Structure 1
Amino acid sequence: MNRTELRFALYLIPFLDSVEDIEDGLVKLRDRRWLIWHPDVMAALFRNDRDLRHPPSRTLSPLLGNRSVLWLDGAEHTAYRHALAPMLRGNRYQVLIDEMVARSIAELPSGDPVGLAAWTRRLTLRIIGRIVFGVDDDELLTAFTRWLDRRLGIRVRTLAHRYLAPGTTRFDAELDRRLLHRAKAAEPPALAACLPQEDLRDQVVSLLFAGHETTASATAWTVFWIYRTPGLADKILSGDAALLEATIMESLRLSPPATLAGNRMSDDGMTITPSIYLAHRRAATYADPHVFDPARFLGGQQRTGAFFPFGGGVRHCLGRDLALLEIRMIVTALLRHRRIRLHVPRHCTPQLRGAAMAPPPSLAMVATCRR
């Protein structure tokens, strides 16, 4: 591993910040591996995505499994996406989301600080847990969170798993047994009925992980930016739906929960890694890219390859509409029912969970009832 790739691996955000002014929008990480973010290159990559391979993540595949839909290719990938897509159609879950959001807001301790990202993770995991299992099981979801946090919650531990024990699975046999039991007992048995049993574990874990982690981070970042922008909360509360949507989009631009959009590999072994983080901060695309400005998303279409918080090509996120619905409903309910103060640490350095970018645990909110 050369010095450039080492910096990319160990100090991802500082490395991305150090190269963001490169106008070509690409950096050679090592021989036959490139980091890219130029919109024209991104658009071409996504257009030709079906002809590329998508190697497993060295960080996430030991957790999610090599049979996760996230790594499959070709006809098999298409078939799995078709099988899973009906489960993730957002509009069918409005009542469920409303119920879960109301419950989680009611549980907020009045006047006591609560970690913002931890709270949104618990809530979004409850939502995807009900979708996958058909019932509430907070005990099982708590066990899942502990298992995930032991592996992704601390950056040093994540890197140690990746580089000191490469290729080693990090499954928990007892947790897997409980997850599979719950998935098979679901009514209707949506997953168990449409997927091969030998792949069920990997798809359950992938849905739980992908179905809550980035949505939680996106929601927390949106709340953060609203309360960092004077007057924005009152304007959204007045019922300005377009402004709320633009605020969410701008939060996804400036604080994308996924910094990278997975690896692509050509038949001759060239590996390409698209950077969402860098594409969203490109000065040639966005004026004053480090400034939070929802107005840039009011009434305009974004250039293809310049804005892709949910990935692109054949790997675009199946749960995009569900995630956006959750963010809208959580943020709106929180603004309506609680007065929020944020305890923002002096150095609000993002926490990396794999390649995902979450607010730091030290970012806390204090919620009190509206009178």
Structure 2
Amino acid sequence: MNRTELRFALQLIGFLDSVEDFEDGLVKLRERRWLVWHPDVMAALFRHDRELHHPPSRTLSPLLGNRSVLWLDGEEHTAYRRTLAPMLRANRYQALIDEMVERSIAELPSGDPVGLATWTRKLTLRIIGRIVFGVADDELLTAFSRWLDRRLGSRVRTLAHRYLTPGTTRFDPHLDQMLLHRAKTAEPPALAACLPPEDLRDQVVSLLFAGHETTASATAWTVYWIDRTPGLAEQLLTDDRLLDATIAESLRLSPPAALAGNRMSDDGMVITPSIYLAHRRAATYDNPHVFDPTRKPPPPGGFFPFGGGVRHCPGKELALLEIRTIVTALLRHRRISLTAPRSCTPQLRGAAMAPPPSLAMVATCRR
């Protein structure tokens, strides 16, 4: 591993900030591996995505499994997405999301600080848990969350998990047994009925992880930017279009993932798209570091918070529904203020880019 790739691996956000002014929108990480973010390149890459391979993440594949839909290719990938897509249709879950959001807001201690990202992760995990299993099971989800935190809860843990013992799985047999039992006894047993038994574990874990981690990060960042913008919270209570624009601008400036997965050509060339850099490119966005919900729409390839091509997130609309519902309910029922740390440097949790644990939310009842 050369110096450039080492910086990319060990200090991702700092490395990305150091190259954001490269007008070509690409950086050579090593021989036959490139980091790219120019909108024209991104648009072309996503157009030809079906012709490319999608190597598994060295960080996440030991957790999610080699049979995760996130790494499958070709017809197998298409078939799995077709199988899982009905489970993620947003319009099926408005009442469920409303119920879970109201419950979580009611549990907020009035006037006491709560870790913002921790709270959004717990809530979004509850939602995807109900979608996947059909029932509430906080004990199981707490065990799942602790398992993830032991491996992704800090950058040091993530790097140790990735580099100190590469090539080994990080499964927890007891947790896997609990997850499989719950999936097989779900009503209806949607996943267990349509997936091969040997693939069930990897898909359940992938849905739980991908179905809550980035949604939680995006929600937390949206609350952060609303708090940082005087007067915006009150405007959002009566302006749905402004709310959608605020969420989009938060997804631009603080995307829930810094990278969009690797692509590999038949001859072994690896291309890594950077969401973070594409969204902060000065040639694409005026004053790219300024939070501005009134921005004009970006060009194709300039905005892809949920990835793109054949790997775009199938739960995009569900995630947007959750973000919209959580933010709206918070603003209606609570007055929110954030006890901001000196630095709000993003915390990387595998693929997700979350606010740091030190960013706390104080919620008080509206009179």
| 1:255 alignment counterpart | 254
Q: Is 1:345 the equivalent of 2:336?
A: no
Q: Is 1:73 the equivalent of 2:69?
A: no
Alpha-carbon offset, residue 301 of structure 1: 3.7
Paired AA for residue 229 in structure 2 = T
Q: Is 1:332 the equivalent of 2:328?
A: yes
Measure the CA separation in 1 of the matches of 2:111 and 2:329. Answer: 18
Q: Is 1:117 the equivalent of 2:117?
A: yes
Paired AA for residue 224 in structure 1 = Y
Paired AA for residue 278 in structure 2 = A
Measure the CA separation in 1 of the matches of 2:234 and 2:42. Answer: 37
Alpha-carbon offset, residue 302 of structure 1: 2.9
Paired AA for residue 172 in structure 1 = D
Alpha-carbon offset, residue 354 of structure 1: 1.3
Alpha-carbon offset, residue 77 of structure 1: 0.1
Q: Provide structure 2 residue ranges, at least 5 long, that are not aligned to the other structure.
A: none
Paired AA for residue 192 in structure 2 = A
Counting only pairs closer than 5 Å after superposition, residues 1-371 of structure 1 correspond to structure 2 as 1-237=1-237, 239-296=238-295, 300-371=296-367
SS in 1 for 2:348: strand
Alpha-carbon offset, residue 91 of structure 1: 1.0
Measure the CA separation in 2 of the matches of 1:114 and 1:291. Answer: 27
Paired AA for residue 225 in structure 1 = W
Measure the CA separation in 1 of the matches of 2:157 and 2:221. Answer: 24
Deviation digits for residues 265-287 of structure 1 (CA, Å, limit 9, x no counterpart): 00000000000000000000000
SS in 2 for 1:176: helix
Measure the CA separation in 1 of the matches of 2:307 and 2:144. Answer: 25
Measure the CA separation in 1 of the matches of 2:187 and 2:81. Answer: 21
Alpha-carbon offset, residue 164 of structure 1: 1.2
Measure the CA separation in 2 of the matches of 1:160 and 1:152. Answer: 10
Deviation digits for residues 176-209 of structure 1 (CA, Å, limit 9, x no counterpart): 0000000010011110111111000000000000
Deviation digits for residues 109-156 of structure 1 (CA, Å, limit 9, x no counterpart): 111100000000000000000000000000000000000000000111
**In the alignment, is the contact (CA less than 8 A) between 2:124 and 2:215 conserved in 1?**
yes
Measure the CA separation in 1 of the matches of 2:298 and 2:74. Answer: 29
Paired AA for residue 280 in structure 1 = H
Measure the CA separation in 2 of the matches of 1:234 and 1:124. Answer: 24
Paired AA for residue 349 in structure 1 = T
Instruction: Count residues with an aligned counterpart.
Output: 367
SS in 1 for 2:122: helix
Measure the CA separation in 2 of the matches of 1:33 and 1:93. Answer: 41
SS in 2 for 1:366: strand
Paired AA for residue 249 in structure 2 = E
Paired AA for residue 359 in structure 2 = L
Q: Structure 1 stretch 134-143 or stretch 349-358: which is displaced more?
A: 349-358
Alpha-carbon offset, residue 355 of structure 1: 3.1
Alpha-carbon offset, residue 57 of structure 1: 0.0
Alpha-carbon offset, residue 4 of structure 1: 0.1
Measure the CA separation in 1 of the matches of 2:351 and 2:95. Answer: 32
**In the alignment, is the contact (CA less than 8 A) between 2:275 and 2:304 conserved in 1?**
yes
Instruction: Give every structure 1 segment of 4 or more consecutive aligned residues whose post-TM-superposition deviation is greater than 3 Å.
Output: none
Paired AA for residue 178 in structure 2 = R
Measure the CA separation in 1 of the matches of 2:15 and 2:350. Answer: 15
Percentage identity across paired residues of the two chains: 85
Alpha-carbon offset, residue 347 of structure 1: 1.2
Q: Provide structure 1 residue ranges, at least 5 long, that are not aligned to the other structure.
A: none
Measure the CA separation in 2 of the matches of 1:288 and 1:302. Answer: 13
SS in 1 for 2:35: strand
SS in 2 for 1:341: strand
RMSD over equivalenced CA pairs, Å: 0.6
Measure the CA separation in 2 of the matches of 1:264 and 1:309. Answer: 17
Alpha-carbon offset, residue 157 of structure 1: 1.4
TM-score using structure 2 length: 0.99
Paired AA for residue 275 in structure 2 = I
Measure the CA separation in 1 of the matches of 2:198 and 2:179. Answer: 14
**In the alignment, is the contact (CA less than 8 A) between 2:260 and 2:275 conserved in 1?**
yes
Alpha-carbon offset, residue 303 of structure 1: 1.3
Measure the CA separation in 1 of the matches of 2:175 and 2:228. Answer: 39
Paired AA for residue 37 in structure 2 = W
Deviation digits for residues 160-183 of structure 1 (CA, Å, limit 9, x no counterpart): 111111111000000000000000
SS in 2 for 1:202: helix
